[in-house]
Structure 1
Amino acid sequence: MKNTPLTYALFLMASLVLQSCDTTQKEPTKPQKRPNVLFISVDDLRPTLGAYGDSTAITPNIDKLAEDGMTFRQTFSQVAVCAPSRASLMTGIRPDSTRVWHLGDEFRKINPNTVTMPQYFSKNGYHTVNLGKIFHNYMPDSISWDEPDIRPEKYLRKDWLNRDGETYYISEAVNASQAIKRDSLLKLRPVRYADGWNTGPAWEAADVNDTMYYDGAQTELAIKTLSRLSESDTPFYIGLGFFRPHLPFAAPKKYWDLYDPETIPLANNPNVSKNAPNYTMNSMYELRHYDGFNHIGHPQSDYRMSEDTTRILKHGYYASVSYVDALVGKLIAHMKAIGIYDNTIIILWGDHGWKLGDHNSWGKMTNYNIDLQVPMIVRYPNQENRGKQTFEITELVDMFPSLCEIAGIDVPDYMQGTSFVPLIKDPNREWKTAAFSQFHRRPRHTADGSRNMGYSINTKSYHYIEWYDWDNTTGTRGAFKNAELYDRINDPYETVNIADEATQSALVKQLSAQLAEGWKKAKPKNI
């Protein structure tokens, strides 16, 4: 048959009829799942990062994360020690509400019905996984996670289940010594921090692969976990807690080799603050546990550490930070390789600061800003203002409501922090007028043997602290004892307490009233 215009028209009509009778439907486009959450804790991390202006720190991977997110330059911990800080930020409420004030307080025993951040995300359709230190070391809180406290296989020995990830060394001689010391310690008192394993040298620089230390092995497990969960349609919330740069400063030698210790600057404020009360400083008992440091004195005494030892310790801290930075870089590279980076909220934070010879001290556990200020970096899908910084005041207790908002989950109405999402959208807008922190100073760690609670308020210009007697049985404060006032603009290292100066009386009165009004009055307006 010839192909005439008529036959072509008949063919076209027949085709249209057949197409109109076709009942098959195209598969609808699969909706994108909610964003995943990678919640990265870095223990004892002060803002010793390039992204925070530290010209010594070698942290290219965290700095790159900051370039893809938002860097918060004025974030404050609610308590400068692990358990209370983490209990607060993981529940979204403040220390006087959690009633977790020091290392031995366990929030789940104090309030069994507490709902934590991962618990809340699980209730809202997330698969939650815990690797490493998110809550305090020996409080993994299995109720909070669908997969609680997963560990690298070689660390699953029965006698290590209550041992903390920072306590492992490479040296066999050190390992043998640890076991002997632990046996002796447990005979004296069977329940101990880190299950008695927190002994040994304060630093180690073994020439080994990254995976030979706990954080490196844990990162390998995190990478495998990311691959596994990426295959699921369910969004994940992974809490990944790095143990370094917590003591001991044990990290692969190549990270120590990044630094010349002679070029690492010593502390800007090597002395206890002038005119400070004699109960402001901690006894440095954390460092005293390590070999060669059992003799060290209280910071508020005549004790001074030698410059050689100071340089080794500070070198070890920086090396440990660079080690964690490399592991973070490896983790993010893997997320990009398997295609989940773009749809993942990443938040990286430190639970409190850390003194590196500042105030004649080592460790945390004070109300000074060297211990209270922490890094917090956030990036998420479709984020506005990437690579920006904000110097507005934020607090760790703000993380819970903020992550809920970013993930599209209803924010619980009992939160005592404020979502910082509006601040990401406009980093220069006016925000909180103050941050609130506190510290319970116990008798055996004070220079005068007293028990006190110090309440701290940080505004942009001033840091004010009030100290009270504290009743440890009832958890209530007693009589006012003393005050501290520091000029954050003209004395950023808090070298001189000016609270008793006659010229500051009006300011002290104003800040005392603002401290008494509390966090609700400091919330940002018009949000």
Structure 2
Amino acid sequence: MIKKIQLLCKLIILCIFFSSCGNLSKTDSDKPNILFIMSDDHAYQAISAYGYGLNETPNIDRIADEGALFTRACVTNSICAPSRAVLLTGKHSFINGKVDNVQPFDWNQPNFPKLMQANGYQTAMIGKIHLDGEPQGFDFSMVLRGQGHYYNPEFMVNGSGKWEQIEGYCTDIITDSMLDWLKNKRDPNKPFCALYHQKAPHRNWKPAQEYLNLYDNKTFDPPANYFDDYEGRGSAAKEQEMQIDGHARWGHDFKLLIDPDGNPTGFENELKRFNEQQRKDWLAAYTPKNDAMKAQQLKGKELGKWKFNRYIKDYLRTIKSVDDGVGEVLDYLKEAGLEENTIVIYTSDQGFYLGEHGWFDKRFMYEESFRTPLLVRFPKEIQPGTKINKLVQNLDFAPTFLDYAGITAPEEMQGESFRDLVSGKNSEWRDAVYYTYYEYPSVHMVKRHYGVATERYKLMHFYYDIDEWEMYDLETDPSEMKNIYNDPAYAQVQKDLHTKLQELRSYYGDSDENDQRFLKAYLDHQEKLRKKRAAQ
């Protein structure tokens, strides 16, 4: 009898052990995959899910339709490289050190891919990262050289130190490489975290050959404030150099070989990168359009509207290829049975001006630059058609990904996980966000500034060569056309925003000393460049 009891106990213990092993194996296999898709300068206005009627992005929209759309997602610093540094580190620019496109980035500091690697994830980074040095935290990397080229770009694979030119269209190459990694290079027994980063639609908006004539039969109306005179704003808005009708270039931006006055534009040099067929297709598409414009001898506002249309059509044409690629990757996830357990995120490194205030580019804390698209799909936790109106920032990506992976975010990360927010488990969230911008004097001449934004109001301080404050009520003035900083009716709001601004600067560890330190580093770098050019 005793032997029977002992045997029964052993069987029970063995059952418990194997059951526990089975649960462990299931838990490990249930770790969600993460596919993070980031384009460059993709304005939320140019994603049809946002309802502006400007563009059609059916594949990107699928993420929102089957998941969540964030209406007030924003960035901490609206410029390419710093935005990516914030993504990786979960820290503000003045903490991770990458405050502008000039300062070096320290890859040795902790980032979320390194932590995921250390916890059983397979990681990959394909496309644009725009951070100098060898990428760290990735089992596989294939990164563009600097900003990258639309046609026949160079890539570096796995930090080899060698740049290899690949013939083809950049957006398609990145998509094909991402699919190749997902299908053939990753370990299917491990969860993955893949960063799929497009160059498009970054300036100067060169479309793929198949889309060179897309929208030729359509005329776009510019935004209502396209011919903005900047009355009621400060020096920063008036002294920028990013007007479509004024600062954009005949060759580089509008794709003319000869300008309306008969002068070479230099665009011929850009075509030297093209192979014979690419060049032939390009000239066949653009020469008749350019000749027709010059024959009209447009002046004044009519010429300004033509420039807007050339800009917006090329911009949207490049997005068409991005949307195609998103569709291909989403289709693969479904076909491979990965859809249910893969978190898919689509975003941009910042927002972009599509003619608002007459501008292209970004940099300002004004809405079109400050806000960025954010769409997230995860069938296990996020209900289809979810809308999130809270102030989520790119600062929050790293802690959110770590949260989904079951990894504790290090204390030095300054963002917050929005996992419970987007799943509906918790509606508590921050009531304000902090912003900084440092790269001045430089291209586009957007002045240095920092500021605070709440759900309704925004306060900005422009400094260095000026000392000006601006404040806006987004409820009554969503286009930010009237600076109300000195309006007596908003005196209490102004006081409250100043208090909130100081609280956030203190909370995140920013200060006037930081501003001066990074200003000195930037000016020293500019002086070195000046001396180098003079010596040449």
Structure 1 length normalisation: TM-score? 0.74
Q: Does 1:38 align with 2:35?
A: yes
Deviates more, 1:118-127 or 1:303-312: 303-312
Residue identity opposite 2:120 in structure 1: G
| 1:467 Cα deviation from its structure 2 partner | 2.2
Residue identity opposite 2:132 in structure 1: M
Structure 2: distance between partners of 1:506 and 1:293: 50
Deviates more, 1:26-35 or 1:211-220: 26-35
Q: Does 1:221 align with 2:177?
A: yes
Alignment of structure 1 residues 73-88 onto 2, 5 Å: 73-88=71-86
Structure 1: distance between partners of 2:481 and 2:219: 24
Residue identity opposite 1:277 in structure 2: G
| 1:54 Cα deviation from its structure 2 partner | 2.2
| 1:274 Cα deviation from its structure 2 partner | 2.8
* 8 Å contact kept, 2:219–2:309: no
| 1:43 Cα deviation from its structure 2 partner | 0.6
Structure 1: distance between partners of 2:490 and 2:55: 37
Structure 2: distance between partners of 1:456 and 1:417: 17
More strand by share: 1
Structure 2: distance between partners of 1:86 and 1:485: 28
Alpha carbons of 1:26 and 1:390: their partners in 2 closer, same or farther (altered >3 Å)?
closer
Match in the other structure for 2:421: 423
Q: Which residue of 465, 481, 484 maps to 1:495?
A: 481
* 8 Å contact kept, 1:71–1:377: yes
Match in the other structure for 1:274: 231
Where 1:483 maps in the other structure, the secondary structure is strand
| 1:418 Cα deviation from its structure 2 partner | 1.0
Deviates more, 1:215-224 or 1:425-434: 425-434
| 1:230 Cα deviation from its structure 2 partner | 5.6
Q: Does 1:117 align with 2:104?
A: no
- Once the two structures are superposed, residues 402-451 of structure 1 have per-residue CA deviations (whole angstroms, 9 ceiling, x without a partner) of 1111122222222211111121122893422112212125134577xxx9
| 5+ long unaligned stretches in structure 1 | 1-19, 151-160, 171-194, 198-210, 296-302, 471-479, 523-527
Q: Which residue of 94, 97, 100 maps to 1:99?
A: 97
* 8 Å contact kept, 1:262–1:311: no
Alpha carbons of 1:258 and 1:65: their partners in 2 closer, same or farther (altered >3 Å)?
farther
Q: Which residue of 45, 55, 61 maps to 1:63?
A: 61
- Once the two structures are superposed, residues 137-176 of structure 1 have per-residue CA deviations (whole angstroms, 9 ceiling, x without a partner) of x5364223221226xxxxxxxxxx7464334279xxxxxx
Alpha carbons of 1:277 and 1:441: their partners in 2 closer, same or farther (altered >3 Å)?
farther
Q: Which has the larger radius of gyration?
A: 1
* 8 Å contact kept, 1:272–1:495: no
* 8 Å contact kept, 1:385–1:425: yes
Alpha carbons of 1:232 and 1:116: their partners in 2 closer, same or farther (altered >3 Å)?
same
Where 1:455 maps in the other structure, the secondary structure is strand
Please provide the CA RMSD for this pair.
Answer: 3.3
Structure 2: distance between partners of 1:467 and 1:144: 36
Aligned residues: 430
Where 1:469 maps in the other structure, the secondary structure is coil
* 8 Å contact kept, 1:279–1:441: no
Structure 2: distance between partners of 1:512 and 1:235: 45
Where 2:310 maps in the other structure, the secondary structure is helix
Alpha carbons of 1:96 and 1:315: their partners in 2 closer, same or farther (altered >3 Å)?
same
Match in the other structure for 1:11: none
Structure 2 length normalisation: TM-score? 0.72
* 8 Å contact kept, 2:108–2:136: no
- Once the two structures are superposed, residues 78-134 of structure 1 have per-residue CA deviations (whole angstroms, 9 ceiling, x without a partner) of 1111011111121001122123221112221xxx5311221221122211111101x
| 1:360 Cα deviation from its structure 2 partner | 2.3
Match in the other structure for 2:4: none
- Once the two structures are superposed, residues 175-207 of structure 1 have per-residue CA deviations (whole angstroms, 9 ceiling, x without a partner) of xxxxxxxxxxxxxxxxxxxx9x9xxxxxxxxxx
| 1:459 Cα deviation from its structure 2 partner | 1.0
| 1:251 Cα deviation from its structure 2 partner | 2.0
